[in-house]
């Protein structure tokens, strides 16, 4: 099938490459000419493990094209996926301007492709677009097909999703979506076929629920620190109950990234707009916004109540391991707060260093080329992102070059008895400090 993607951000890029891999002829359109030029050469704009191989595979077979303009490839498309960004407006609602720009461009085509909204949009948007298009006398049908890919594991998530969700208003459109995903459905992947508004809400509610689990376990971690309980055993003990499930129960510095913080704000605002309660959502939002402050308070108390003039290594900048994405990263929020308190930062991230100047002031910030350089003669080492390579560092050498031998592990990735045996004072999340 001929398919077009409008918007080659994270979701658009992964989905277009992978649908092309499944056998479709896919054209990708984006306003960023530099990105398109690089993708034509097989150069990815993001760090996503494994995606490069699929990109080269599809480019080599001529099934994947990157375009700057609406041309004949788009005119012959049976389906057009809209995968543009929906950033947060000052009102906390999702900004749908790019979605509507894309729809307006499709309306100008001579053809009537099925429009599939994959961008995360507030429930009701797909139906609204369907009415808008009908008024323009275009014959296109509109469907919702949210995405559940996680950064860092997106290829695997695409090929083996827990479910595929489609929201359509008629059988013809739902059959078209089933045809697009036929290779995955043939492998027994669950298909949830519903109306567009429910489909859109499944996406928001899933992200908000996962965020709620994280906020909950972070609150329990605080309590564990106070009453000398163990967060790892608590997460395991709760998670083995199948009704709870063991994923997303890892305590840390708070949830970040381009999705959870944005989507939960938009869902809460949607509930308010419809005079429906958002008590749970608002509690999660508030708890997570407070989390970096709690982390800095703890760091400050470990460093004898003052951060002014102290030098602190921050290992990890990305919002989670396996990505170079610094958007709404707790690590970045924590660094800003530490800088505000007068601390000097030596930062390192295996993938996210190139984006650092977009999100941080370089005042009192040194970016280093290795984690060891970050840790050289500092007052404390903070582990802010759970990169595997931080577990394997030569901690003996780091110990010899460290001033105060304090490690504050906000991701609980180090083995506490091993690291303490090396002489470090080791603080982690959800455990009472023991010398």
Which residues are at the interface with ligand UGA (CB under 6 A)? 120, 147-151, 207, 210, 214, 248-250, 252, 255-257, 259-260, 319-320
Nearer to ligand UGA, 150 or 425 (CB): 150
Nearer to ligand UGA, 130 or 383 (CB): 383
Q: What distance in Å separates the CA atoms of residue 41 and residue 73, rounded to the nearest whole number?
A: 19
Paired residues of 201 in beta bridges: none
Active-site choice (28, 259, 367, 375)? 259
Nearer to ligand UGA, 319 or 426 (CB): 319
Smallest distance, ligand UGA to C-beta of residue 258, A: 6
Radius of gyration (C-alpha) of the chain in whole angstroms: 24
Nearer to ligand UGA, 157 or 366 (CB): 157
Instruction: Please give the span between the terminal C-alpha atoms of the chain, in angstroms, as a whole number.
Output: 63
Paired residues of 345 in beta bridges: 312, 365
Asked if 28 is an active-site residue, the reply is no
What is the four-CA torsion angle of 192, 280, 225, 313, rounded to 10 degrees? Answer: 70
- 231, 429 Cβ separation under 8 angstroms: yes
- Return the structure tokens found at 241: 């109950």
**Cα dihedral sign, 148-245-324-220:** positive
Smallest distance, ligand UGA to C-beta of residue 292, A: 12
Nearer to ligand UGA, 149 or 317 (CB): 149
What letter would DSSP give residue 279?
H
Smallest distance, ligand UGA to C-beta of residue 264, A: 11
Smallest distance, ligand UGA to C-beta of residue 263, A: 6
Residues 6+ apart with CB under 8 A from 423: 399, 405
231-239 vs 196-227: helix crossing angle, rounded to 10 = 140
Q: What distance in Å separates the CA atoms of residue 365 and residue 343, rounded to the nearest whole number?
A: 9
Give the residue numbers annotated as catalytic, written as ranges.
Answer: 259
């Amino acid at each position: 099938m001929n398919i077009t993607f409008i918007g080659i951000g994270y979701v658009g890029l992964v989905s277009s490459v992978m649908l092309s891999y499944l056998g479709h002829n896919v054209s990708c359109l984006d306003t960023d000419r530099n990105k398109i030029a690089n993708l034509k050469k097989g150069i990815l704009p993001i760090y996503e493990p494994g995606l490069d191989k699929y990109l080269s595979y599809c480019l080599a077979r001529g099934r994947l094209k990157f375009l700057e303009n609406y041309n004949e490839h788009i005119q012959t498309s049976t389906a057009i996926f809209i995968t543009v960004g929906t950033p947060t407006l000052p009102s906390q609602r999702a900004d749908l301007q790019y979605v509507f720009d894309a729809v307006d461009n499709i309306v100008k085509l001579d053809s009537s492709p099925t429009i599939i909204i994959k961008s995360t949009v507030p429930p009701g948007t797909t139906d609204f677009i369907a009415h808008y298009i009908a008024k323009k006398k275009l014959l296109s049908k509109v469907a919702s097909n949210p995405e559940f890919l996680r950064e860092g594991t997106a290829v695997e998530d695409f090929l083996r999703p827990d479910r595929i969700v489609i929201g359509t208003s008629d059988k013809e459109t739902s059959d078209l979506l089933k045809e697009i995903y036929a290779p995955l459905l043939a492998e027994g992947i669950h298909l949830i076929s519903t109306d567009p508004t429910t489909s859109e809400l499944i996406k928001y509610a899933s992200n908000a629920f996962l965020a709620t689990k994280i906020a909950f376990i972070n609150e329990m971690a605080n309590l564990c620190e106070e009453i000398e309980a163990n967060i790892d055993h608590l997460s395991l003990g709760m998670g083995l109950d199948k009704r709870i499930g063991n994923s997303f129960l890892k305590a840390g510095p708070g949830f970040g990234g381009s999705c959870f913080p944005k989507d939960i704000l938009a869902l809460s605002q949607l509930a308010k707009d419809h005079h429906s309660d958002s008590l749970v959502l608002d509690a999660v939002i508030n708890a997570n916004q407070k989390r970096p402050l709690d982390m800095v308070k703890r760091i400050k108390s470990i460093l004898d109540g003052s951060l002014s003039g102290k030098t602190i290594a921050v290992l990890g900048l990305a919002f989670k391991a396996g990505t170079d994405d610094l958007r709404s990263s707790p690590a970045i929020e924590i660094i800003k707060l530490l800088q505000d308190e007068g601390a000097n930062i030596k930062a390192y991230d295996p993938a996210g260093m190139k984006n650092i100047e977009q999100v941080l002031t370089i005042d009192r910030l040194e970016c280093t080329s290795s984690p060891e350089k970050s840790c050289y003669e500092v007052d404390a080492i903070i582990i802010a992102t759970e990169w595997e390579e931080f577990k394997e560092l030569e901690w003996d050498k780091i110990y010899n070059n460290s001033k105060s031998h304090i490690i504050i592990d906000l991701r609980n990735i180090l083995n506490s008895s091993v690291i303490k045996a090396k002489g470090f004072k080791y603080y982690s999340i959800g455990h009472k400090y023991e010398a």
